[in-house]
Structure 1
Amino acid sequence: MSQTRTPLCHDRLRWIPVAVFIYLCAITISKITGLPEFLVGMTNDSAMRLVEVRDLLNGQPWFDLDQTRLGLEGGFEMHWSRLIDAPIAGLILLLDLFTSRARAEYLVIVAWPLIMLGLVMWLVGRIAATLHGPRAAPLAAALSGFMMLQEARFLPGAIDHHNVQIVLLLVTMLGVLGRHDSRALPAGAGAALAASLAIGVETLPLLAVCTFGMVGFWLARGTPERAATLRFAGGGIGGLAVLFPATAPASAYAGGFCDALSVDLALPAALGLGAMAACAYAVSGRALAVRAGILAALFAAVGAFALAVMPSCLHNPLESLDPYLVDRWLTFVTEARSLGDLIAGPAMPYLFGYYALGLAAMTIAAGFAWARKSGDWLLMTVLLAGALTITIYQLRGAPALLAISAPVLGVLVTRLHEDWRARRRPAAGIGAIACCVLAMPMTWGEFSNGASAVLSRVAGPAEAALAPRKDRRACFTPQSLSALAALPTGVVSAPSNFGAQILLHSDHRTLSGPYHRNQSGMRRQLEITMAATPEAAKALLVDTGIDYVVLCPDDPELATLHRHGFTGFGHLLETGERPDFLTRVPHGDANSGLMILAMRQADSGARAPDE
């Protein structure tokens, strides 16, 4: 009897993740708004991505990543990859054959993050199956869907690169853990590693852990790991060889930066993978000490070369940020805050759930590694330790921590479910349910001021993609943005969180956006905002060629600066005072608190509209 129940149960369970995915898509799509409201609610990064995609579709050259409408005159080169722009643009062009361009954009930016969510669920299921057998896949995949339910990077409208990087990280993990299940998996893992590096370096430490995990397996076993190691290294080298010339702008060949794909990143990575391949090819049958010594010598040579010739990748790109911006911007970015900052700052208890979950998953993985004497589980433990460390350093590591935790928790739930089915132990059933409930971030939200806390604080601006806010601070509305767009094209001074929306909805140039390569524009905007007197602000506005000043009452950026003692011209405008060199531009939307102020004609090159 027991021999037939498990396969039948597994056959029924395999449809659970499909049902969960359909359910999650249905409830998410049911809450989104239509056009044009939906675009108004996009996050900064997603709105900026759509600006890039539009630029590409409108004829901007493939290798030209300059954002000339953001920052001081001339703009700056963005550090994002065409590897994300291309599929989104391609889907828009495809749907454009059947509907309007605006509707095509809308359909793509709604569907894209849901496609990424589906891939995450499938990959988590595959990883869990690799760790514990096929029976672990359905529950792990379903659990991961609920864990990502309120994660901003998988909400409709999220077309930045972060969700793709999580998918590629999981592909790399699957290829390393399942390296003997298929010849294609380790090669695919190497290619996914290369693609992730081509997109950005946010997951670089975790990709390095996967790479060293493959090295560790080869060192421990030698010849049995030779073929998988060669395929992994070959996939990585081949991927870099294709993607670097296909996506890197001219500046990448000169190097000197590591916040995007450049020779400083690609060459050491390729050399390191080449060292792996050479050792696997030549000395797999030698003693452990010989293998370790030769590989260590080659890695040391690569490291010394990188340190001497191209050291930019040995530092966090944000370490070079202007201290002025660190004190007045980066310090207040929630996702850039460390665990120490969260403890010392305002009470946000739900955020500590990420750390508790990661610590629990790491402990569970370590327990499996010890009990099974498993290298795969040891790698999962190290990955979780790395992801937890990154999240302690900066909260932005939390989504990757969730994704890596999902297969571990899925295996635990499967074990408890199996125990309940075999022995009908109530404790096992209750434990499985409790594990599922506590793994979901929305549970922590309920424990601290309700699930809305997760949407408004963790998801941040992405909440507007589900439902626009109705209070006076909901400054960006279709009508108010249309009024701004209708003004003669000029230069806008606005808080950094306004920048992407201004670019998306108008032809204006704006000074500031929350991107570290735009340091000069961000600094000038903050200098205007904190000018001690209207006269000092006017001098900066005129010197920068500003035509319009845009701000919002109770804007979080201005409010945070004021609360920490950084006050000045921006706060003065918020309180309702208007210097004589600015004139109010009505936008006609009573539901929007947006303030559009135009420089008077004598002070600006743009025509000042009548009040």
Structure 2
Amino acid sequence: MSRRPGSSGAVPAGAATATLALAMLLALAVYFGLEAERLRAVWTTGAFFDTDDAMRMVQVRDLMAGQGWYDMTAWRLDPPAGVFSHWSRVVDAPLVLLIEFFQLFLNGVMAERAARIAFPAFVLLALFGAGAYAARIFAGRSMRLFGVASMLFCGVMFWQFPPGRIDHHAPQITALIFSMAAMAEAFDPARARKAAALSGAIMALCLAIGFENLAFFALVAAAPAILYVLRGAEARDALLGFALGLGGALTFFFLLTVGPARWGVEACDALSMAHLVSALTGCAIYALLAIFGARISSPAARLAAAALAAAITIAPLALMSPACLADPFAGLDPIVRRYWLDHNAEVISIVEDYRIDPTAAVLMAATILIGFLGALFGMWRASGMARARWLFLSALIAIGVAIGSLHVRVLSTTMPLAGLGLLAPVGALRDFIAARMTSALGRTAAPLTALLALFGLSSFGVALAEPPFPISAAIENSAAKAWRRPDPCLESASYEPLAALGPGLAVSQISPGSYLLAQTSLSVLAAPYHRDNHGNRLALDILRSPPALAESLARKAGAKYVLLCWAKPSDEAALREMAPDGLGAELTRGHVPGWLRPLDIKGTPFHAFQVMPRSD
């Protein structure tokens, strides 16, 4: 019988692994049951529920249609030049493979829908695995099932993992949990090199997908240096392993995802040469510290060396791309920022979110706070290396809370971290019950009671929300009331009638752009992406200009249609507030200029107009 650390040895290793696999599959079954309505909508109608999911499918379709691997241009967005996307082929590739697989026995449309269901499910299954791995590191092998449960109950699966969710957030969240747990494992000198290398390699994968978790990874990357300051030569394997893992993997992913033609192009929102050089510089310094740093015996001197290493690491980025150290949206057109970004619900603060839906905002914040307090409890209760790990997790949650208070989307990344924080009080409760129950029934009751406690803590106070699952309505996304509330202008079904329009360039509001690209053959000027600076500004200028000037701008852009949606009074108000005498405002009042012809399209809240040929 095999015995593992943290286990009593009463359960064979093979049986424990089988039990864990079964638990993960059961959790996935629960997920499908709770998301049955959305799953059905994706399968039967192909509905999109988020602009990013629609845009991702546009990118995947273009790749499957023959667009180059390194060519990330969305050609139908702000044509003829198009917009070069900052998104990564790392997410496109598995979607293409899934579609190709399902096409073996389904037609193209249904294969795409099947892939959109399978992709988030596979990533969620990986998240369950990450939760089990992290639970073993923080709380012992016997807590792995609770790690799976913490990912199931923390609420993030309703926010970033539902059927149809194929954007980049879910893979990044999963990668962060794996990388964080591996770094925590590297606190043990006996496992440091392999665990730190794994942490660095997974971090590289995540950075190749996107930079949303960069703040969290700053702490993960700093952990080997902190270990070096505190432990000296004992941190050698952590330094060297992380340097090899991050440096090797990031180089691989850079070459895989960034074409040679763009090696000299500055990019602050995606992996670039400047980021690679900075990362490799840091990896080289970590390697030097691992080889020669043992000679520095004073903790103060090691701290100075680590601080110097940090400054040298950031220097290439500061020299090659100084703009990347400033506001990431500094280059955004001020008009676009005013009328789009400043109202984008993904970047609103928790205070603004509270104004939209106080109950949901408080409940989401409360559950994360409970997880944070749980991690602090684990730190208080533990000692030595275990205490350092709980401190590490607490610091990551604190980072998430700090940034999430400014941009609520970050709280979706913080949720699974907070879920892991609950393992400390839940484990203590299980141990307390088990110590006082010696019967077989008692030993069974202890983990079940702890599991119920985990569920109760993670869904604290959320029973006021809608059934069938308490978390699904309130924690699914506190900001859902802002960007996922029922809005006919952003419902996939509203775009189906527009598919009958012939190809051409459409002038529309910014938010509908992704859906128009995904569900029609139209090209668009505007879409909710910061790189579409020119197209978004031009679309806003057309809608804000008096009809005569708007005609000149629209014809110069080659526009064939004007498509506007005002399903609610607030939609009309927004168009009128932009410019009371602008084209958008005039159209809401029914004042259609002679150069536009209204199109009678039933079944959609969109008001469609065709640009007429010049009369002269």
Residues 563/492 of structure 1: CA separation in 2 closer, same or farther (3 Å cut): closer
Instruction: Please give the residue correspondences for 1:181-220 in structure 2 after superposition, counting only pairs within 5 Å.
Output: 181=191, 184-220=194-230
Corresponding residue for residue 41 of structure 1: 48
How has the CA–CA distance of structure 1 residues 444 and 496 changed in structure 2, closer, same or farther, with 3 Å as cutoff? farther
Indicate whether 1:417 and 2:430 are aligned: yes
Which secondary structure does the structure 2 equivalent of 1:99 belong to?
coil
What residue number does 1:136 align with?
A: 143
- The answer for the alignment partner of 2:131 in structure 1 is 124
- Structure 2 residue corresponding to 1:318, chosen from 303, 325, 329: 329
CA distance, structure 2, for counterparts of residue 394 and residue 581 of structure 1: 42
Corresponding residue number in structure 2 for 1:397: 410
Match of 1:509 in 2: 523
Query: Which residue identity does 1:86 align to in structure 2?
Result: A
**Any idea what SS the aligned residue of 1:550 has?**
strand
Residue 557 of structure 2 is aligned to residue 547 of structure 1 = no
CA distance in 2, matches of 1:82, 1:281: 36
User: Out of 274, 299, 302, which is 2:310 matched to?
Assistant: 299
Cα contact 1:67–1:78 (8 A) shared by 2:
yes
Q: 2:105 aligns with which of 94, 98, 112?
A: 98
Matched residue, 2:363: 353
Q: Cα offset for 1:310?
A: 2.7
Match of 1:458 among 479, 492, 504: 479
Tell me if the contact between 1:13 and 1:139 (Cα under 8 Å) persists in the aligned partners: no
State the shift of 1:582 in Å: 2.0
| Structure 1 CA distance for aligned equivalents of residues 57 and 106 of structure 2 | 18
In structure 2, do the counterparts of structure 1 residues 110 and 574 end up closer, same or farther at CA, with 3 Å as the change threshold? farther
Contact 1:166-1:400 at 8 Å conserved across structures = yes
Q: Closer, same or farther in 2 for the Cα pair 1:538/1:444, shift >3 Å?
A: farther
Report the secondary structure of 1:60's partner residue. Answer: coil
User: After superposition, what is the alpha-carbon deviation per residue over 1:83-121, rounded to whole angstroms, capped at 9, x for unaligned?
Assistant: 111121122122222322222211111111111111112
Deviates more, 1:71-80 or 1:358-367: 358-367
Distance 1:370 1:153 in 2: 32
2:465 paired residue number: 446
Aligned to 2:455: 436
| Gap change, CA 1:315 and 1:457, over 3 Å in 2 | same
Give the Å deviation of 1:429. Answer: 9.2
Per the alignment, residue 607 of structure 1 pairs with: none
Q: CA RMSD in A?
A: 3.4
For residue 444 of structure 1, report the CA deviation from its aligned partner.
7.1
Q: CA deviation at 1:43?
A: 1.2
CA contact 2:197–2:245 (8 Å) conserved in 1: yes
Note if contact 2:127-2:174 (Cα within 8 Å) is conserved in structure 1. Answer: yes
TM-score of the two chains, using structure 1 as the length reference = 0.87
Q: Does 1:23 align with 2:33?
A: no
Alpha carbons 1:257, 1:312 under 8 Å: kept: no
User: What is the alpha-carbon distance in structure 2 between the residues aligned to residue 545 and residue 252 of structure 1?
Assistant: 29
**C-alpha distance in 1, partners of 2:208/2:338?**
30
Per-residue CA distance 1:95-151 (angstroms, 9 max, x = gap): 222322222211111111111111112211211221111122212311311223653
8 Å Cα contact 2:368/2:415 also seen in 1: yes
> How far is the alpha carbon of 1:213 from its aligned partner?
1.6
Letter in 2 for 1:235: G
Instruction: Extract unaligned runs of 5+ from structure 2.
Output: 1-6
1:104-119 map, 5 Å: 104-119=111-126
Q: What is the total number of aligned residue pairs between the two structures?
A: 590
1:237 is aligned to 2:236:
no
Contact 2:508-2:564 at 8 Å conserved across structures: yes
Compared with structure 1, are the counterparts of its residues 422 and 47 closer, same or farther at alpha carbon in structure 2 (3 Å cutoff)? same
Per-residue CA distance 1:406-442 (angstroms, 9 max, x = gap):
1111332232233233337999998974552342389
Q: Which SS does the other structure have where 1:254 is aligned? A: coil
- Give the stretch that moved more between structures: 387-396 or 365-374: 365-374
1:52 maps onto 2:65 in alignment: no
- 1:495/1:557 contact within 8 Å kept: no
Q: Does the CA-based 8 Å contact 1:445-1:452 persist in structure 2?
A: no
Q: Could you say which residue in structure 1 is the equivalent of 2:597?
A: 583
Counterpart-to-counterpart distance in 2, 1:370 and 1:560:
54
Q: Structure 1: how far apart are the matches of 2:488 and 2:254?
A: 47
The 3 A distance-change label for structure 1 pair 66 and 295 is: same
TM-fit CA distance, 1:251: 5.7
Paired residues of 2:150 and 2:416 also in contact (CA < 8 A): no
Tell me, in whole angstroms, the C-alpha distance in 2 between the residues paired with 1:595 and 1:174. 51
Q: Name whichever of 19-28 and 191-200 sits farther off.
A: 19-28
Change in Cα spacing, 1:442 to 1:366, as seen in structure 2 (3 Å) is closer
Q: CA deviation at 1:603?
A: 7.0
Compare 176-185 and 106-115 and name the one that shifted more: 176-185
Q: Determine the structure 2 residue equivalent to 1:494.
A: 508
Residue aligned with 2:563, SS: strand
Distance 1:463 1:380, change over 3 A: same
Q: Which runs of 5+ in 1 are unaligned?
A: 605-611
Deviation at 1:549, TM superposition (A): 1.2
**CA-CA distance at 1:209 after TM superposition:** 0.6
Measure, in 2, the Cα distance between the counterparts of 1:188 and 1:235.
6
Find the aligned partners of 1:299 and 1:253 in 2 and give their Cα distance: 24
**Structure 2 counterpart of 1:529:** 543
Q: What SS does the aligned partner of 2:593 have?
A: coil
Q: Which residue identity lines up with residue 593 of structure 1 in the other structure?
A: P
Counterpart-to-counterpart distance in 2, 1:156 and 1:236: 32
**Residues 377-431 of structure 1: per-residue CA shift (max 9 Å, x gap):** 1111111111111101211101111021111113322322332333379999989
Name which of 250, 270, 273 aligns with 1:260: 270
Residue of 178, 181, 202 corresponding to 2:185? 178
How far 1:154 moved relative to its partner? 0.2
Letter in 1 for 2:159: A
Identity score, percent: 25
- Conserved 8 A contact 2:357-2:481: no
Q: Distance in 2 between matches of 1:227 and 1:318?
A: 38
- The answer to whether the Cα contact below 8 Å between 1:51 and 1:504 also exists between their aligned partners in 2 is yes
Quick one: distance in 1 between partners of 2:380 and 2:97? 47
Q: Which amino acid aligns with 1:102?
A: V
Q: Which amino acid counterpart does residue 192 of structure 1 have in structure 2?
A: I
Aligned equivalents of 2:573, 2:471: Cα separation in 1:
24
TM-score (norm 2): 0.86
Query: Which residue identity lines up with residue 245 of structure 1 in the other structure?
Result: L
Distance between the aligned counterparts of 1:296 and 1:453, measured in 2?
43
SS in structure 2 opposite 1:598?
A: strand
1:491 shift after superposition: 0.4
Q: Which residue of 2 aligns with 1:329?
A: 340
Quick one: distance in 2 between partners of 1:124 and 1:277?
Answer: 30
What amino acid is aligned across from residue 595 of structure 2 in structure 1?
A: F
Q: Give the match's secondary structure for 1:596.
A: strand
Structure 2 counterpart of 1:247, from 257, 263, 267: 257
Give 1:376's aligned amino acid: R
Rounded Cα–Cα distance in structure 2 between residues aligned with 1:555 and 1:184: 56
Check conservation: 2:371, 2:421, Cα contact below 8 A: yes
One-letter identity of the residue aligned with 1:596: A
The code of the aligned residue for 1:279 comes to L
Counterpart position of 2:377 = 367
Contact 1:264 1:311 in 2 (8 A): no
Q: Is the 8 A contact 2:575 2:584 kept in 1?
A: no
Structure with the larger RCO, 1 or 2 (CA within 8 Å, 6+ apart): 1
Per the TM alignment, residue 18 of structure 1 is displaced from its structure 2 partner at its CA by 3.6
Instruction: Return the offset for 1:188.
Output: 1.7
Quickly say closer, same or farther: Cα 1:492–1:446, change in 2 above 3 A. Answer: same
**Equivalent residue letter for 1:398:** L
Whole-angstrom distance in 2 between the partners of 1:36 and 1:603: 47
Alignment partners' CA distance in 1, 2:308 and 2:477 = 50
